Structure 1
Amino acid sequence: MSFSQLSLSKTLIQALPNTIKTPTAIQTLAIPELISGHDVLALAKTGSGKTLAYGLPIIEALKQNQDHQALVLVPTRELAAQVCDAINAVAKPQSLSALCLCGGVDKELQQQALAKQPNILVATTGRLIDLIKHGLSLSQVHYLVLDEADRLLDMGFWPDVQTIADQTSPKRQTALFSATFSDTLRQQAKPLMSAPKELVADQENSTNSDIAETLYLVNKGSKTKALITLIEQQAAKQILVFIGAKENADSLTKKLNKAKITTAALHGNKSQAEREEALEQFKSGQSQVLIATDLLARGIHIDHLPVVINFELPMHAETYIHRVGRTARAGANGIAMSLVCHGETDALNAIRSLTQRELPLQDLEGFPVTDKPSTGESKRAPRDKKANRRTQNKKSIKQFQRKPKAR
């Protein structure tokens, strides 16, 4: 199918980047429904082209109603910037504009930009709530998009989402896009939507078939050396490494740099300027490896990211799908590797259950596994129950004191 078959205007199709030739599966499903005015509940994996799946219909609608506005809510600053850039690339040739509203940027500058009446707002919930308190009106927002809705829910932003939705036009059109769906998300989305069309571009909770996944069983204490080995073996220009705790990201970064692997870290303790610098260094090739926590990695978009490595498995199985989905985007192939220790067995089983795949563990050459799986039994010696009862029966602190030795 071609874009010309999706009821899009010729000028909008001509504004598409040269790299985009034909619509993706989610674009083919969502664009006609959104242009027809339906609310949409869409399941689409990471890297499937969902930004244009909602962006193109919004631009088409705003060309006809320039007094209306559109609002796209996203979970992170990095994703907000990415989405805004992608929309502006096709909106500006239509004499429309998108504005990014997120923390880490001077609020007064954003208020000045809002005074120019941008057509599309791409925002994180916290900054938007703040701007609403300072007088921003959303009454002209007739198109509301919740992008990466599962993360908006998981990260605790849903009360803000509901507050913001209440400020928009009651006649609005609402679209929700997510890589995973839970019963909780479905229930929370219902009050915000009107008879939504459910669209499924991919099998629910699936990963991209273009990703080659390998999971290695290693000792917990061997993970850093194993990571260095994998990086050296891949010899890829860009490798994105996921880590659970932001406190560990800097430590691992230092160890890789000591091993002569140019590495930067991206996590919540970094300032906005530091985040942007780390991401730019990675994109430009100044650093080969970027170590990121899940919160910050959601907005990372690298056109041809070849390798993703999980230094640790995520606590939530759905996060695994998002992590590996950073590679093999827009039809490209990719590699995803995970370092797994015995202590992560429960996390691995949860991922296997969610994705309905075997995901076998392999040995990594040069890294024999000597750690033993936990049996679930306590390592402490069994207590003397009689001694416990004797202790409980003592009536006075004096009874706990040793008797003086006879002389």
Structure 2
Amino acid sequence: MTFSELALAPSLLASLPATITTPTRIQQLAIPAILGGRDVLALAQTGSGKTLAFGLPLLQQLDATQPQVQGLVLVPTRELAAQIAGALHAGASALGLSVVMLCGGVDPASQQAELAQGPQLLVATPGRLRDLLAQQLVSLDDVRHLVLDEADRLLEMGFWPDIQALLAQMPAERQTLLCSATLPAALQQLATALLRDPLRLEATPLNSVVSEISEQLYLVNKSSKVAALIQLLNTEAWPQLLVFISARDQVDAVVKKLTKAGIAAAALHGDKVQVEREQVLAEFKQGRLRVLVATDLLARGIHIEALPVVVNLDLPANAPVYVHRIGRTARAGQSGLALSLVCHGDSEALAAIRTLTGRPLPLDTLANFPLTDTPASGSGKRPPRDKQANRRTASKRSIKQFQRKG
């Protein structure tokens, strides 16, 4: 099948990048359904082309002669908002449409100026959009097409109250699209509540991992993970890799150790201001950084061209996040490597990931890193109170040693 068979406008087809010639499976399924006016629950692996799957038919249904907001795409992060707005820019221009991105960390004055120009499509994070609505700087009265992208992540990050408030500002008669790579029970309930007679589209088995991703897992001591990563970087000819860590307060410490080892690395997490986040991500995409160490801020929806390797320095407690993390490689049909450094403390997370993906994920050992840690058995440990009492006793004894006798 070709894009020309999907009833898309010739000018929209002409705006597609030269590298995009054949629609992906989710695009083949979703574009006709969305153009037909159906509500859609689109489930597809990361890197499968979901943005154009909903974006192209969304743009085609907007009226360039009307300077009102007719379409809205809600996303969980600023980075994803920027990526989607960028991906739809050429198509919107070809149709005479205006797209405005609204998210925190960006100068509100510049966003207000863009809104004053009467855009037809908004790509927004829920919090910033609510702020602008409260200031009566934007209206959702004419929204006829709503997209919740990375919908499961929107729920995980606690945006549901914001989304409910936004829905109350929109017409009840609208087309609603939910897009996700995973379908937790909460999202299933949301789909039932929001969508009208929805068409459920599954381009691939739910929660599956792209076949082009090779997964390697090494069992190492918890204290050896960064040293193991440095050894791998020094012995493997990887041009770039993205390293995930769950806790943001550890990201900068890992970058400091990598830099000390002579490796060009930078950190990306929610504590950094938006300008710095954009600069770091741009430098990585331009190949000026070999390693980008990030929290799960980058686990969803972000496309980095030809990224060969993703490393989990720890396994996420939430199993679907693993699928999203490793989906940053092997995008658009390319191959990639997902490498995880696992310690005994990751055992429960590993079991959950194996159950979710249905993959065995065997653990190997890494040369020069003998395993000395032992699994926690839970036996022989004193309760916390006993430990504290023991420390108090030791403290008293140490004081007595310095007290004058007699």
Map of 2:40 onto structure 1: 40
Q: String of CA shifts for 1:93-144, please: whole Å, max 9, x gaps.
A: 1111211100011112211111111111000000001011010210111100
Map of 2:404 onto structure 1: none
Counting only pairs closer than 5 Å after superposition, residues 8-407 of structure 1 correspond to structure 2 as: 8-63=8-63, 66=66, 69-135=70-136, 136-298=138-300, 300-380=302-382
Measure, in 1, the Cα distance between the counterparts of 2:75 and 2:292. 22
Q: Which moved more, 1:105-114 or 1:243-252?
A: 105-114
Summarize the Cα distance change of 1:178–1:65 in structure 2 as closer, same or farther, 3 Å threshold. farther
For structure 1, list consecutive stretches of 5 or more residues without a partner in the other structure.
385-407
Q: String of CA shifts for 1:157-188, please: whole Å, max 9, x gaps.
A: 11111211221122110000001001211112
Measure, in 2, the Cα distance between the counterparts of 1:97 and 1:334. 36
Summarize the Cα distance change of 1:32–1:257 in structure 2 as closer, same or farther, 3 Å threshold. same
Secondary structure in 2 aligned to 1:167? coil
Aligned partners of 1:62 and 1:68 also within 8 Å: no
Q: Which moved more, 1:235-244 or 1:55-64?
A: 55-64
Map of 1:391 onto structure 2: none
Measure, in 2, the Cα distance between the counterparts of 1:277 and 1:60. 32
Counterpart AA for 1:224: V
Q: Is structure 2 residue 4 aligned with structure 1 residue 4?
A: yes
Measure, in 1, the Cα distance between the counterparts of 2:293 and 2:320. 20
Secondary structure in 1 aligned to 2:61? helix
**How large is the Cα RMSD of the aligned pairs?**
1.8
Secondary structure in 1 aligned to 2:355? helix
Aligned partners of 1:76 and 1:299 also within 8 Å: no
Counterpart AA for 1:374: A
Counterpart AA for 1:34: I
Larger Rg: 1
Counterpart AA for 1:124: T
Measure, in 2, the Cα distance between the counterparts of 1:163 and 1:236. 46
- Identity rate, percent: 57
Aligned partners of 2:150 and 2:301 also within 8 Å: no
1:64 deviates by 7.5
1:299 deviates by 5.2
Measure, in 2, the Cα distance between the counterparts of 1:316 and 1:65. 45
Counterpart AA for 1:51: T
Aligned partners of 1:78 and 1:298 also within 8 Å: no
Aligned partners of 2:64 and 2:96 also within 8 Å: no
Secondary structure in 2 aligned to 1:265? strand
Summarize the Cα distance change of 1:211–1:296 in structure 2 as closer, same or farther, 3 Å threshold. closer
Q: How many residues align?
A: 385
Counterpart AA for 1:25: R
Counterpart AA for 2:317: M
Counterpart AA for 1:108: A
1:286 deviates by 1.7
Measure, in 1, the Cα distance between the counterparts of 2:119 and 2:43. 29
Measure, in 1, the Cα distance between the counterparts of 2:11 and 2:285. 31
For structure 2, list consecutive stretches of 5 or more residues without a partner in the other structure.
387-406
- TM-score normalised by L of structure 2: 0.92
- TM-score normalised by L of structure 1: 0.91
Summarize the Cα distance change of 1:68–1:293 in structure 2 as closer, same or farther, 3 Å threshold. closer
Counterpart AA for 1:217: L
Measure, in 1, the Cα distance between the counterparts of 2:373 and 2:60. 59
Secondary structure in 1 aligned to 2:351? helix
Map of 1:390 onto structure 2: none
Q: String of CA shifts for 1:315-363, please: whole Å, max 9, x gaps.
A: 1000000000000001110110000001110000000011111111011
Counterpart AA for 2:22: T
Aligned partners of 1:238 and 1:288 also within 8 Å: yes
Aligned partners of 1:74 and 1:148 also within 8 Å: yes
Aligned partners of 1:101 and 1:122 also within 8 Å: yes
Measure, in 2, the Cα distance between the counterparts of 1:270 and 1:117. 31
Aligned partners of 2:285 and 2:305 also within 8 Å: no
Counterpart AA for 2:357: T
Aligned partners of 2:69 and 2:122 also within 8 Å: no
1:234 deviates by 2.8
Secondary structure in 2 aligned to 1:199? strand
Measure, in 2, the Cα distance between the counterparts of 1:361 and 1:65. 59
Secondary structure in 2 aligned to 1:27? helix
Secondary structure in 1 aligned to 2:119? coil
Counterpart AA for 2:3: F
Counterpart AA for 2:232: L
Measure, in 2, the Cα distance between the counterparts of 1:82 and 1:306. 20
Q: String of CA shifts for 1:29-87, please: whole Å, max 9, x gaps.
A: 10010000000011111111000000110111114874561100000000000000001
Aligned partners of 1:100 and 1:123 also within 8 Å: yes
